[in-house]
Each structure stands twice: as C-alpha cells, then as structure tokens.
Chain A
Amino acid sequence: DIAVSQSPDSLAVSLGERATINCKTSQSVLYSSNNRNYLAWYQKKPGQPPKLLTYWAATRDSGVPDRFSGSGSGTDFTLTISSLQAEDVAVYYCQQYYNTPHTFGQGTKLEIK
C-alpha cells in the first residue's frame, strides 16, 4: 500500500495570511503514460462529508475558490490557501488514488491564530 503523510498535524494562521500544508507519498503517484499525479486534496468540517478541493494534484474542483491551490509532483505535494478566511477552518486531507487502497493522509487541522 502507498503510505501518505502530511505535515504539519496542525496549523494556526492569521486571517488573510497564507496557509501551506504538505503531503508526501511513499512512492510516486505520477503515472507516466498520461503525466498525471493521482493526488487529491479535501476539506473536512465536523458533521459534513469531505469536500473535494483539487484532483490531479492541481486541478480545482468546480466551485472551489481560487485561493485554494494544489501543487507538486511525484511524491511531494502542497496545498496552499493564499488568504485564509474564517470559513476555511477545517481539517485538510490529501489522498492518493494511484493504487488501491486509495489511502489518505492523517489530516492537518487548520485554525485561526
């Protein structure tokens, strides 16, 4: 199984400031035949299902604000929130879907400083 780890486990950022969350996979999730990274990011709030933010590492899902951006390739990825809003308080997860099981990282709790 591909292991997925995130850093940090928790993060406090001031409103309007940048938040950066890192994700590392135990093997490359870049599929050479289509040059796509099989990596997604989710936002999870209590009592709600996960919300897909980005897929293919950097493609924002429909309706996701452009302050959310994903980057990276191979085994190292980043989710950046360019200007933190109050509604962004949540736990963020990355997930690889290169191989089953489609493993998730342990999550990063984002709070307001």
Chain B
Amino acid sequence: EEQLVESGGGLVQPGGALRLSCAASGFNFSKYWMIWVRQAPGKGLEWVANIKEDGIVRYYVDSVRGRFTISRDNAKNSLYLQMNSLRAEDTATYYCARGGYSVWGQGTLVTVSS
C-alpha cells in the first residue's frame, strides 16, 4: 500500500523553529517529486513547496520563501520541511503529497502561539 506518514508537528512560539518529516512507503520514493500543502484552521488549501526527485530543484510559495526549506533523503524514503522564523499565520495542518497528488499523508498540526 502506498503510504505517507507525517510527524513533527506541535506547539511552537512565534519566531521558533520546527522540522516536519514525511515517511514514504509502498512506492519508489526516489522517482517522484514531493510536495508540502497546508490548511490553516477554517481556511482553504495552500501549496507550500515542492522538490524534484534529485533533491536539487525546489520551489516555494512566496509567503514561506527564505523561512522554510524543503529537503529529502531518498535513502531513507523521507521528505522534510524545516520551518524557521515561524509566525502565527503558519498555524495549519501540514500535508505531504506525492507528485501527481494521488497519495497524501494524514497531516500534522503545527500551532504557532505564545
């Protein structure tokens, strides 16, 4: 079964940092682009970032560029999102998805609050 499982969410103070992880199984992880998408409470879906199979090509939405870093470890079948300088508006459930968007994780909640 193709599966993605996120972890690493939690409560963090404004200005703090958090690293999300996404463990992949059931498919050849190294052959796919990977993506992070988030949904703030009561709001819509927002695309955050993606990363190419080689881990070199990366794109970000403007609101997180310079603060968030997407990365991957193909040997560990894992995707990451390093989030620095967190703001209240980064509070959301963060989902990882496989390129093509047919496989999603269940999400991990990040709350930025003092």
Which positions in A face B, CB cutoff 8 Å? 1, 40, 42, 44, 48-52, 55, 61-62, 91, 93, 95, 97, 100-107
Q: Are B61 and A101 in contact (CB under 8 A)?
A: yes
Contact of B101 among A1, A52, A103 (CB under 8 A): A52
A100 to B59, CA, bound (A): 7
Which interface class (under 10, 10 to 19, 20 to 34, 35 or more) fits B? 20 to 34
Q: Are B37 and A93 in contact (CB under 8 A)?
A: no
A104 / chain B contacts, CB cutoff of 8 Å = 44-47
Q: Are B101 and A55 in contact (CB under 8 A)?
A: yes
Contact of A106 among B44, B47, B50, B105 (CB under 8 A): B44
Which positions in B face A, CB cutoff 8 Å? 35, 37, 39, 44-47, 50, 59-62, 95, 97, 100-102, 104-107
A104 to B39, CA, bound (A): 11
A44 / chain B contacts, CB cutoff of 8 Å = 39, 45
B97 / chain A contacts, CB cutoff of 8 Å = 49-50
